[in-house]
Structures are given as structure tokens and as C-alpha cells.
């Protein structure tokens, strides 16, 4: 099968084009460095199946960072049948330097100028025919985001694959000149709105408070819309159990009924009920992100990050980590300096991922009023940032972290419904894959631990889980964390999705009865202490594995494990001991 590779500078819309062409769901975002791995999908070109490869963005072919190596190694080892050079029509001249380097490789190549819509809005005029004539290259102008001009690309690909011709090298030296001559940028390119918005959003004093208010509003909205949906789902799951499952499973032996209903069904549905809330959160975040606003936040915080030995990119990774810490850890590949990369990696596991968000939404809605709950969540996000910052402060200066880098400011862009829905769908898929891998296994194990040996009262001190929690008691009691919760924490080490599922199993309750029981057994101080611990200690096994794989350092992995456990314990201890004295 033939290979077509998408190559270009960061944030030029390669992944958007990849998704548009193949129907895939590669992550797209309005800042440079979103893609750090090679992605492939199949595509039909003129009746032939070809393999399309999406690559990380690069500025030149001589870089040695991990993400750049992905590209250079791919080009060297695979020699693609066709290179599609993706460039933004709004920055053609600047990006033609990379084009010149690619032509020197000598593979067949066509040029796609994307962001036609943006170029048009800025009044940029491009003489495609003259440009193609002068450079001898096949060219097309399109907007992958809005799906305009895609038919030109299909024709271009068909022709290039049918009659592959290596580029004529002689014209490469004057590429920048050719682009300057045939791409007319008006003297007063209309960036009016972007500048006006930046005057407010990047304001020295207003910028950061405004960002915090914005995020506060996002939480309010997620809660206001998502809570009723979650309650509805819980009711439906309960009705299904009573109406259909219980009668159906009646012929089975008692213990198997218990395992299937109180273990797997209760565990899974309790967690699944939170998925709509999480999806909503990411749909909102995709709007904040894709408009380009989050890059402004990274810019505002860059100076503060520098004091901790990090830079604005670290903040961007924390924001990526809100979904899942694993891709955020991989995202550090864009950082050239190893010292800086390792320091950034050490801070990422504190980023409050969607799995932890489920736990917090659950506890916040049980222990606090509807008015308080969004603020409780917000406070946890602030503590997550504070823990990451503290970690950087403690560990900075243990290796050279100097790295020259310019935070590129993307223009403001309209999010599309398609992108928002894709982001939401990705969360659902993430949940399903984690559910099949960890949650089912986790709740089954918890069920056995809390129901065996046979004959003892479920979840009592005589069960295996009871014995384990007695061993842990000296550590968890000073934090106000009771034995049941400490079992949940133990399993949360594997994946945070198991935490609520295992509570449902431990108590043998779901829906309203579970929340009522918990609300009676726990006050808000114990709950918040539990949330603090859950927030700060190791997120999950996959994160540890990725940390080890990406850093190739066992030492760093161990430091991360021990430090986060220690910090979690210390924070919960200090909070709990002070709080019970203030609010007896
Ligand atoms: N206006 C407009 N925006 C686009 C177009 N194509 C992509 N974008 C936006 O440009 C931003 C970057 O898109 P990506 O597809 O993530 O870019 P990329 O080249 O894959 O970026 P890296 O993976 O970081 O190298 C996103 O905000 C997209 O929505 C387009 O044709 N028009
Ligand atoms: Mg990309």
C-alpha cells in the first residue's frame, strides 16, 4: 500500500486535514505541538487504498527533540510515496523555509495551503497558477476545518500518485521569493478583532483574574447542565436493575447474582452515570481551547512558570492533562532540554484528570449544596496547580533547564460543532476503553475482597478487605479516612475510575441509597480530606508506566511515586487536623 505523509510546521491544521480526509479522530487544538506521535489511517484516492500518515509539526529537519525525531526518522526509514506539505495560507512565506528542506529529500511532493478561510478574511490574495508555474509544484488552497476546496486536493493526490515525479531541485533556492511574489498580503492585514481581544485578555492586571472567572463560569455551567442528566441516568440504571436484571438473574446461585449485580453492574453504572458530566466539561473546554483563549492563559502564566524553572508549555501540558495525564506526558516531547522535560513530567501527574473529576463530582454533590459544589471543584483545580508548582519549586535546579523557545500565539478561531462533538466523543471512548480494562476487573476484585471469606458479613472487619484496612488504619485515621474509603484509595492506585465503583460495591448500594449512606457516615471535612488525597497521590498505573517509558528513568519514576504519596498524606493531614479543630 502506498504511503502519503502530512508534513508541516506546528498548528498549521495537519491533523484537521487528516481527520477531514479519513474520518479519524486525531486530537486537534489551537496551539503548536498537539500531535507528538505518528498516526495513520486509510484513505481512498482514485479507487486505490492508501495509508495517510499524520506527523507532529516541525520547524526544520535538523531538530533532535523527540517529536522532531518522529518525523525525521519516519522520512528516512519509510520514504513515503508522496509528501503532502501542509502550510497555512496566512504564513506562506515564513513556512516556505521548511518546504525547501523537504524538497531536498527528493520525494514526490505536493503543497496544500490550508486556512483559506482565514487568509480570505485577512484579505490575502494568492495567485495559485503563477505560484505553481514558478515552483513547478502541485498546489491547492483549501479550508480543512470547514471542508472547502477538498475536491481540488483529491484531484491533486490522484495525479501525484499516478505520475510520481521527484521535484525539480533547481527551483528550491528561490522558494521564499516565489511565495513573496504571488501571495499578496495587504499592508494592513485585518487583525483588528484579535488585537482588541488581546488588549483585554492579555491585560497585565485583568488577564489572570479574568481567566479564573472564566473557568469558574465553565464549572457552574457544567454542573447546572450536567447534574440533572447524571441524576436521570442513575434513575434509569436503577430501574433497569429492578425491572429487568434482577428477575433475569434469579435462577443463578446467590453469590454469582451478587457478583454480577452488586459487583459489576453497580460498579460500572455508578461510574457511567458521571460520563455525561465529564463529556460536557470537555465540550466546554474544547471551546475555550479552540478559540485560542487557553494559549493566552499560557502566555499570561509564562513569567510565573519561569520562576519555577518551567515555561508556558508546562502550563499547556497541565491543561492537556485535564483529560488524561498520559497524552500530556507524551506531549512533553516537544521540549528540547532534557532537564526541563523531566521537571515538567514530574509536575504533570498533579493535573486533575477526568477520572479524578468523576470522584470529586460524586463527593462534592453528596457533601455540599448545589451552590457550593462548583466552588469545591474549582478549589481542587487550584490546589492541583499549586501542587504542580510546589513540585517544580522543590525539584528545579537539579538539572539544566535552559531551552530557547517562543510561545507562538495562535489567532482567535471559531470552534466548530464538529470539533466540539469529536472532543466529547473522545471522552466517551476513553471511558469505554478504561471501563473494559480496569473498572470491571477492579470492581470484581473489590467485590471478592469485601465479600470473602464466605459466611462473614459483607464489608465487615472479618473480610479480607477488612484485614487490609486494619493494616492501613494507622496511616489513614489521622487523615479522617475511614476503612471503607481506604480500600477505595488502594484500588484508586490502579485507576481512579475504580474509586466510586468500588465504593458502590463495598456498600452494596447504588444511586440515591449510596449517596445517602455516604452523606450520613461522613462529614464534609473527612470528604474534603479524602478528595485532597485522591487529587495528589499517584493518578494511575498507566501514568506511572508512561512516565517511566517517556523519561527512561527509573529514578524519576520512583521519585514521582514517593513524592506524590508523601505530599498527598501531608496535605490531607494538615487540612484535616486544622479543620476538625476549627469546625468541631
Ligand atoms: N480557520 C481555520 N482553522 C483551521 C483550519 N484547519 C485547522 N484549523 C485550526 O487550526 C488549529 C490547529 O489545527 P491542528 O489540526 O491541530 O494543527 P496541526 O498542524 O495538527 O498541529 P500540531 O499537531 O501541533 O503540529 C485548530 O484550532 C484548528 O481548528 C482551517 O482550514 N481554517
Ligand atoms: Mg496535529
- 17 CA from centroid of ligand 1 (Å): 8
Choose the weakest-confidence range: 132-136, 267-271, 354-358. 267-271
- 12 CA from centroid of ligand 2 (Å): 8
pLDDT tens digits along 257-303: 878 887 788 878 877 887 888 888 888 888 888 888 888 888 888 87
Ligand positioned closest to the Cα atom of 7 = 1
Cis bond leading into 453, ω under 30°? yes
By the 8 A CB rule, do 104 and 187 touch?
no
- Could you list which residues have their CB under 5 Å from ion ligand 2? 14-15, 34-35
| Ligand 1 lined by 117 (C-beta under 6 Å) | yes
Say whether pLDDT at 526 is over 90: yes
For residue 140, what is the enclosing H or E element? strand 138-141
How many Cα atoms within 13 Å fall on the side-chain side of residue 557? 15
- 425 CA from centroid of ligand 2 (Å): 18
**Ligand 1, atom 14: closest residue by C-alpha:** 13
By the 8 A CB rule, do 537 and 568 touch?
yes
Say whether pLDDT at 505 is over 90: no
Say whether pLDDT at 83 is over 90: yes
Closest ligand 1 atom to the C-alpha of 114? 31
Closest ligand 1 atom to the C-alpha of 118? 1
**Ligand 1, atom 17: closest residue by C-alpha:** 13
Cα 403 from chain centre: 24
- Answer with the residue of higher pLDDT: 128 or 426: 128
Q: Cβ contacts of residue 96 below 8 Å, gap of 6+?
A: 87, 175, 176, 178, 179
Q: What's the per-residue H, E or C state across 32-80? A: CCCCCCCEEEEEEECCEEEEEEECCCCCCCCCCCHHHHHHHHHHHHHCC
- Using alpha carbons, list the distances in angstroms from residue 160 to 54, 84, 133, 222: 18, 10, 16, 48
Closest ligand 1 atom to the C-alpha of 28? 16
Crossing angle for the helix pair 541-551 and 554-582, to the nearest 10 degrees: 140
| Ligand 1 lined by 33 (C-beta under 6 Å) | yes
pLDDT tens digits along 376-410: 999 999 999 999 999 999 998 765 556 666 667 78
Please tell me the predicted confidence (pLDDT) of residue 169. 55
Closest ligand 1 atom to the C-alpha of 11? 21
| Ligand 1 lined by 11 (C-beta under 6 Å) | yes
**Ligand 1, atom 23: closest residue by C-alpha:** 35
pLDDT tier for residue 104 given thresholds of 50, 70 and 90: confident
Distance CA(4)–CA(50), nearest Å, equals 7
- 365 CA from centroid of ligand 2 (Å): 37
- 12 CA from centroid of ligand 1 (Å): 5
Q: What is the mean pLDDT of residues 215-239?
A: 85
Please tell me the predicted confidence (pLDDT) of residue 424. 84
Please tell me the predicted confidence (pLDDT) of residue 172. 53
β-sheet bridge partners, residue 54: 6, 39
Please tell me the predicted confidence (pLDDT) of residue 428. 84
pLDDT > 70: percent of the chain: 96
- 417 CA from centroid of ligand 1 (Å): 15
0.75 exceeded by pTM: yes
| Ligand 1 lined by 6 (C-beta under 6 Å) | no
Q: Cβ contacts of residue 375 below 8 Å, gap of 6+?
A: 216, 219
- 192 CA from centroid of ligand 2 (Å): 27
| Ligand 1 lined by 14 (C-beta under 6 Å) | yes
| Ligand 1 lined by 529 (C-beta under 6 Å) | no
pLDDT tens digits along 171-203: 556 788 888 888 888 876 556 677 888 888 888
Q: What's the per-residue H, E or C state across 459-494? A: CCCCCHHHHHHHHHHHHHHHHCCCHHHHHHHHHHCC
| Ligand 1 lined by 95 (C-beta under 6 Å) | no
- 87 CA from centroid of ligand 2 (Å): 12
**Ligand 1, atom 26: closest residue by C-alpha:** 30
Please tell me the predicted confidence (pLDDT) of residue 278. 80
Residue from 145, 317, 417 to probe ligand 1 pocket by mutation (most atoms less than 8 Å from CB): 145
Please tell me the predicted confidence (pLDDT) of residue 399. 59
Ligand positioned closest to the Cα atom of 8 = 1
Q: Are strands 82-88 and 109-114 parallel, antiparallel or unpaired?
A: parallel
Cα 58 from chain centre: 21
Largest CA distance in the chain: 85
pLDDT tens digits along 439-465: 788 878 888 888 878 777 777 778 888
pLDDT tens digits along 47-70: 889 999 999 989 888 877 778 888
Amino acid at each position: 500500500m502506498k504511503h502519503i505523509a502530512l508534513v508541516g510546521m506546528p498548528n498549521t491544521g495537519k491533523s484537521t486535514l487528516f481527520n477531514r480526509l479519513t474520518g479519524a479522530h486525531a486530537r486537534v487544538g489551537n496551539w503548536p505541538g498537539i500531535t507528538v506521535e505518528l498516526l495513520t489511517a486509510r484513505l481512498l484516492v482514485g479507487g486505490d487504498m492508501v495509508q495517510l500518515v499524520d506527523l507532529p509539526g516541525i520547524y526544520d529537519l535538523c531538530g533532535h527533540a523527540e517529536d522532531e525525531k518522529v518525523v525525521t526518522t519516519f522520512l528516512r526509514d519509510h520514504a513515503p510515496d508522496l509528501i503532502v506539505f501542509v502550510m497555512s495560507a496566512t504564513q506562506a512565506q515564513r513556512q516556505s523555509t521548511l518546504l525547501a528542506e523537504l524538497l531536498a529529500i527528493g520525494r514526490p511532493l505536493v503543497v496544500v495551503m490550508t486556512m483559506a478561510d482565514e487568509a480570505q478574511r485577512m484579505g490575502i490574495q494568492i495567485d495559485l497558477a503563477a505560484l505553481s508555474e514558478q515552483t513547478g509544484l502541485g498546489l491547492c488552497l483549501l479550508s480543512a476545518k470547514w471542508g472547502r476546496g477538498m475536491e481540488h486536493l483529491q484531484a491533486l493526490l490522484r495525479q501525484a500518485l499516478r505520475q510520481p515525479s521527484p521535484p525539480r531541485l533547481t527551483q528550491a533556492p528561490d522558494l521564499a521569493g516565489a511565495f513573496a511574489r504571488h501571495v499578496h498580503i495587504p499592508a494592513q492585514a485585518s487583525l483588528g478583532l484579535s488585537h482588541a481581544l488581546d488588549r483585554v485578555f492579555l491585560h497585565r492586571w485583568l488577564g489572570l483574574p479574568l481567566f479564573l472567572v472564566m473557568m469558574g463560569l465553565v464549572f457552574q455551567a457544567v454542573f447546572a447542565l450536567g447534574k440533572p442528566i447524571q441524576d436521570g441516568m442513575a434513575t434509569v440504571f436503577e430501574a433497569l436493575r429492578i425491572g429487568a436484571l434482577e428477575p433475569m438473574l434469579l435462577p443463578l446461585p446467590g453469590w454469582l447474582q451478587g457478583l454480577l449485580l452488586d459487583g459489576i453492574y453497580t460498579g460500572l453504572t455508578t461510574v457511567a452515570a458521571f460520563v455525561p458530566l465529564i463529556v460536557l466539561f470537555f465540550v466546554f473546554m474544547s471551546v475555550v481551547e479552540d478559540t485560542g483563549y487557553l494559549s493566552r492563559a499560557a502566555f499570561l502564566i509564562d513569567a510565573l512558570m519561569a520562576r519555577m524553572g518551567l515555561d508556558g508549555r508546562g502550563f499547556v501540558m497541565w491543561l492537556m492533562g485535564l483529560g488524561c495525564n498520559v497524552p500530556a506526558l507524551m506531549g512533553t516531547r516537544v521540549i528540547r532540554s532534557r532537564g526541563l522535560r523531566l521537571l515538567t513530567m514530574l509536575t504533570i501527574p498533579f493535573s486533575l484528570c477526568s477520572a479524578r473529576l468523576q470522584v470529586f463530582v460524586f463527593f462534592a454533590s453528596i457533601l455540599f449544596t448545589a451552590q457550593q459544589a462548583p466552588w469545591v471543584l474549582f478549589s481542587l483545580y487550584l490546589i492541583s496547580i499549586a501542587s504542580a508548582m510546589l513540585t517544580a519549586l522543590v525539584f528545579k535546579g537539579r538539572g539544566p533547564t535552559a531551552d530557547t523557545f517562543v510561545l507562538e500565539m495562535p489567532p482567535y478561531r471559531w470552534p466548530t460543532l464538529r470539533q466540539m462533538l469529536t472532543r466529547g466523543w473522545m471522552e466517551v471512548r476513553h471511558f469505554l476503553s478504561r471501563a473494559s480494562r480496569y473498572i470491571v476487573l477492579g470492581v470484581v476484585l473489590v467485590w471478592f475482597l469485601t465479600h470473602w471469606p464466605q459466611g462473614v458479613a459483607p464489608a465487615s472487619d472479618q473480610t479480607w478487605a477488612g484485614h487490609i484496612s486494619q493494616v492501613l488504619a494507622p496511616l489513614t485515621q489521622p487523615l479522617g479516612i475511614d476503612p471503607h474509603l481506604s480500600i477505595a484509595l488502594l484500588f484508586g492506585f490502579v485507576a481512579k475510575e475504580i474509586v466510586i465503583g468500588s465504593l458502590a460495591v463495598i456498600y452494596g448500594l447504588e444511586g440515591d441509597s449510596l449517596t445517602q449512606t455516604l452523606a450520613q457516615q461522613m462529614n464534609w471535612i473527612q470528604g474534603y480530606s479524602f478528595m485532597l488525597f485522591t487529587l495528589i497521590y499517584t493518578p494511575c498505573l498507566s501514568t506511572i508506566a508512561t512516565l517511566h517509558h517517556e523519561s527512561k528513568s527509573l529514578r524519576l519514576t520512583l521519585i514521582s511515586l514517593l513524592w506524590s504519596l508523601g505530599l498527598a498524606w501531608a496535605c490531607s493531614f494538615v487540612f484535616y487536623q486544622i479543620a476538625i479543630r476549627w469546625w468541631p
